[in-house]
Chain A
Amino acid sequence: MARYSFEIGLTQGGMINLESLATPVIPPAFDFADYSDEIELPNGRVRGMGFPRATWRWGNLEQAERTQLRTFCAGKSAEVYIKTLVNDKTYKTFRAVMVWPAGEDPTCDILLDFELAFRHLVEIV
């Protein structure tokens, strides 16, 4: 029974909870930003610009889990669908570009501080 509702899939209909994948992946810590950039305005306001972005982060990730996640992003990036927590503690579904991290250490069985970035989030309602 999944404890969280983080999901991922190559299509919206194919989204699966991370904990229900063939190789289950533990729920990540997450960051979510409504805007990818901020612009300071002379009236003191700040304008949020760009697409929302999200980050999934694992302090420890096993190679099997990494391999499971890799099935959604064979290259440097891929278009995926995700369901993730947003800042109001609700889950929302997005079409997103998933960016695979650089600088992996293939000799480690446990990946430390593994981070997946999701950018260009377009909410699917």
Chain B
Amino acid sequence: MMARAATADELVKLRSDGQRSKLYLAIHTPALVYSARVNQAVFIDPIAEVAYDTGSGTLANVLPGMTLYVGTSAGAWDKGMLRIRKTPTAGVLYFGETSEIAWADNDYLTVVDEIGLWPRHVRLAGTTPYMDYDIGYSDQHALLAPYPVLGPAAVLWLPTGGTVNLLPDASGSWALGSAISSYLWAAPGASATLNLNTALPTITYNAAGTYRVSCLVTAANGKTTTGYRYLHVFSAAAQPVTDFELLSCQGSYDDGGWEFSVRMLADATAIRPRSRVILFAEDWYGATAGSLGPVSSVENIIAMGWIDEESIAPDALSGQLEFAVRGAAHWLKTMTGYPVGIERSSAAATAWTEMQDLTVDRSLWHLLHWRTTASLCLDAFLPGDTRSLPSAEAPASGIWDQLETLAYQTILAKPVCDRYGRLYCQADTQFLSTAARAAVPVVMELTRDDWAGAVGVTRAPTRKCSMLQLSGIQDDTNGPLMSWARGGVFTLHGATQSVENLLLDNQADANALAGNYFAWLNNEFPNVDLVLGQNNRMIDIAPRQRVSLSLAAGDTPRGLVWAAKALIPRRVEYKFDAAGGSLTTQLECEAESGGAAAVDGQTIIITYPPIIGDGDIGFDFPDFDQWGNWPALTPLTPGFPPPQYIPSEPQVPITPGATCPSNAPANGPYVVPISGTLSVEETYTAYGDIRVVIRTSTHGNRTIYELRGIFEKLVGGIWQETTDDAWYAVEGISASGAVVATGVHNPVTNLRVRTGYLDAPAATTIAWIRIRILADLVRPTGVTHPSDTSHFWWPVTDQGELKWGYQGAGIWVSLTGVKIASSTTTWAFGDFINGGIITRIKIGADWEFNGRALRIRHNGYQIVTPPGDIQAYAHGNFSGSGVPQWEEGPNDDMLAYLTQKHELTATPGQEAISEINIGAYIPANTPSFTITAHQWLTVLPMATYRLHLSQTLLSNVCPIPG
């Protein structure tokens, strides 16, 4: 349901003399359907059904979605209003779960013919979610119910003695993943009907009144939904409300919809809070009677909504009543919804929390159809986005906020209601590609025959945003994408902004979107205000539309020249002169930005941090301190992170060929974002983003670095500032993680400053500057596992499998499958055996680490004993320490684990060998047995140098070629 351009005939009318209007209000006073009295004395909060008696009316006429009054007298709603949630049974009415009614036996229950906008809450029974209290999951997320689009509410005038036709249109109904297969309309009270089983029926009325029409929409997947609309038929004898004064009427894109306020000049005692009100008009354009509007058959409607806040002022006469009527956006903001959480599933969904082929559209459908009654009473149009969404999540908040979260935070689609109350969720025109914008209609070109007075143009030549960083995931790969606009350097003015977690097509999409978003943030003409000298209701805040305006140089002192400048309406307001009957329109627009004029953002290649040491470890090791108890987090066998978890290192080359003239002038210094303490006990390698081209020795001004901070060395157990300078490295790193430039240190002339230059064979683009500690690293020539029980009764029969690798400044080691076995078929010896060392891990060659302070951390240990009575102990120590530094056991039956980490500190003079001894209670005559052990440890260095880095600077660089 797109906006449309005004026709030539409509433009003639809009530019004619004698435009005049009469305004009316249609206030829905719903008819009584069924009444009863509460027939129960005990009420347990929350409550979703109530027993009743003394029912009056036809129970079958009570429909899900209708409004239920609870009151202290017949027909009253003083205790509250509820929503019938499912078909009642004899004696029980079911309604939306509530805690807000002060129930009492014999309260009056009144069901009225009104199907409005309500939340439908989720209920958790244990961990099982139910929609709308008791709707369990069957296939609702596999076969999606259709959404009826039946058009807005209508207001018709009945000619005296004649009939009037309602021509509703359900052809806009939709079904995600399916198609609409049939329609079936019902129109109680109609005098005649035609084509009720089509999308476009004709429904005839011959009497004034308020009528309900419904349409059962069936999808090809077999699912159905019934939508309802109400229409008002007025006649000369049955007039709408005329005794009122329109105080304001406006729609705001930012607020998401329309509202108006009126002062009632007649008795308003019968007007119920939250009644639906339609403001409509009888219009003339010159000699031609009839309204102009974008939607056929409802051109006479100005705005609609539900009564919200009232202003009641007693005075010397009968007092005054003013009330605000607000549209669906407001009401959905005021309704709190439970959290939304849906994940994409690889097969047909089996739970409310899953959905196959999850998209933004599908998440919005879930919210509208299952979490509210919108599909019963409100037209809605989704973005039409088919990109795959990994998950849809929105916290508990107003349902409108949830809509915005699901739509805007993923694809920048914003929900907005037009003045008919139709909900559009569309990406804003400003963010569309140039090609997509072509489909956004220009409703009309505003000429000097349209606007009155002056056009108010706000020009903002100073940028608001200096750099936009836009990021998200690619829908089909889930890979990260990032783009920055307008380039790698801040613009002269403005602040940095970021937009994150978007769902993007590809890098080109990200770049285009970044360019458009940046252009929008820095829109040169953010406000263009116009007062139209006409009753123009063709222009609205939704769906997507534009108007255009031309200005000649002589029109303004500024000499602004616009040739059909596209403007996007952001606020539309109607002013009504009741005495003269003239209705005029005011627009607040913003100029269209971006599009063909936008400069695409630049690609930011996201790479994983380069790996220090072994290049085959492509991930950060987990923080073992946070693993908690070993058994809870690891599989029983083999018990350790398997090597296949280690991915290959990503290699994402950037475009080569950077150029940088040899006579490039000196520049900088530029701050590289690296600071903090570097040591092997903390962060021993730090990266700072800086995308530049570094220069070479052939350049007159070569690239130099400067580090400022406190450079310390551990001397005799005391940290002292040092001039030592060979214990760290400064390097230029490419986007692929390769070292492309090596820092050559200058002699130290200041204790707290280090300088040098970056040496590279050719001008080279770098993505990072890296500073890393070279001293103190644990980089053994090898790791061995000379396990030995030193006892022939149960020798080591399998040395197991050893794996190790660098972990930060230290190493990790795993030793799995070390086995000892009894040497006899029957264990003749009884009771406790101190069996010796079952796992021994040696770091480096003999005495390689002599004198080095190390920390060996036994992160995990596992002993698998045979079933029976063997109870194993284990205790660990560092070779040469002489005494066990931890002990655990006995452990019964099959398994033994370390239940906490153990950290040992070696002292100089000891071999860097970790040992774990085993002891066991082995009863005499135990059959032959095997005990298996697995171990996981880390070896971490202790620092002798550290750097408290306060600032890192780089000078004399070239920009990356565009």
Contact = CB atoms under 8 A, between A and B. Distances in A.
Given A41-B449, A41-B452, A51 B581 contact: yes
Given A39-B452, A49-B584, A119-B579, 14 more contacts: A36-B579, A36-B581, A41-B449, A41-B533, A42-B454, A48-B17, A49-B20, A49-B577, A49-B580, A51-B581, A53-B580, A119-B580, A119-B581, A120-B20
5 contacts: A35-B17, A41-B451, A41-B533, A42-B454, A47-B19
A113 interface: no
B67 interface: no
Interface in B424-465: 447-449, 451-454
A26 B453 CA distance: 43
Contacts of B582: 36-37, 49-50
A101 to B, nearest CB: 14
A109 interface: no
Closest 5 CB pairs of A and B: A36-B580, A50-B580, A50-B582, A43-B448, A49-B582
Interface string A94-119: 00000000000000000000000001
Given A41-B449, A42-B448, A42-B451, A49 B19 contact: yes
Nearest to A48: B17
Contacts of A50: 19-20, 577, 580-582
Contacts of A52: 18
B699 to A, nearest CB: 60
Nearest to B447: A43
Interface in A28-82: 34-37, 39-43, 45, 47-53
A11 to B, nearest CB: 12
A114 B580 CA distance: 21
B480 to A, nearest CB: 52
Contacts of A35: 17-18, 580
B839 to A, nearest CB: 92
Given A45-B449, A47-B17, A120-B22, A39 B579 contact: no
Given A36-B579, A37-B580, A48 B18 contact: yes
Contacts of B938: none
B736 interface: no
B677 interface: no
B534 interface: yes
Interface of A: 34-37, 39-43, 45, 47-53, 119-120
A28 to B, nearest CB: 21
A119 B447 CA distance: 31
B452 A120 contact: no
Given A36-B577, A36-B580, A43 B449 contact: yes
Contacts of B18: 34-35, 48-49, 52
B577 A41 contact: no
A48 to B, nearest CB: 4
A35 B582 CA distance: 9
Interface string B564-581: 000000000000010111
A39 B454 CA distance: 12
B452 to A, nearest CB: 5
A36 B533 CA distance: 14
B85 to A, nearest CB: 47
Contacts of A39: 452, 533, 584
A49 B531 CA distance: 14
A120 B453 contact: no
Contacts of A47: 15, 17, 19, 452, 533-534
B631 to A, nearest CB: 82
Contact of B452 (A42, A53, A119): A42
B572 to A, nearest CB: 18
Contacts of B533: 39-41, 47, 49
A56 B579 CA distance: 17
Interface in B526-558: 533-535
A120 B402 CA distance: 47
A50 B19 CA distance: 6
Contacts of A34: 17-18
A125 to B, nearest CB: 10
A83 B452 CA distance: 34
Contacts of B577: 36-37, 49-50
Nearest to A119: B579
Nearest to B282: A122
B140 to A, nearest CB: 53
Interface string B814-841: 0000000000000000000000000000
Contacts of B454: 42
A26 to B, nearest CB: 28
B714 to A, nearest CB: 81
A59 B642 CA distance: 108
A13 to B, nearest CB: 14
B452 A51 contact: no
Nearest to B15: A47
Contacts of B453: 40, 42
Nearest to A120: B581
Interface in B451-500: 451-454
Contacts of A49: 17-20, 533, 535, 577, 580, 582, 584
Interface string B758-770: 0000000000000
Contacts of A42: 448, 451-454
Interface in B570-619: 577, 579-582, 584
B752 to A, nearest CB: 69
Nearest to A53: B580
A50 B449 CA distance: 17
A34 B287 CA distance: 11
Query: A40, A47, A53 — which one has the most chain B CB atoms within 10 A of its CB?
Result: A47
Contacts of B535: 49
Contacts of B19: 47, 49-50
Contact of A40 (B17, B452, B579, B581): B452
B291 to A, nearest CB: 15
A39 B18 CA distance: 11
B129 to A, nearest CB: 57
A77 to B, nearest CB: 11
Contacts of B579: 36, 119
A47 B16 CA distance: 7
B27 to A, nearest CB: 21
Most-contacted residue by chain A among B451, B454, B581 (CB, 10 A): B581
A46 B236 CA distance: 35
Nearest to A40: B452
A110 B577 CA distance: 34
Contacts of B449: 41, 43, 45
A114 to B, nearest CB: 20
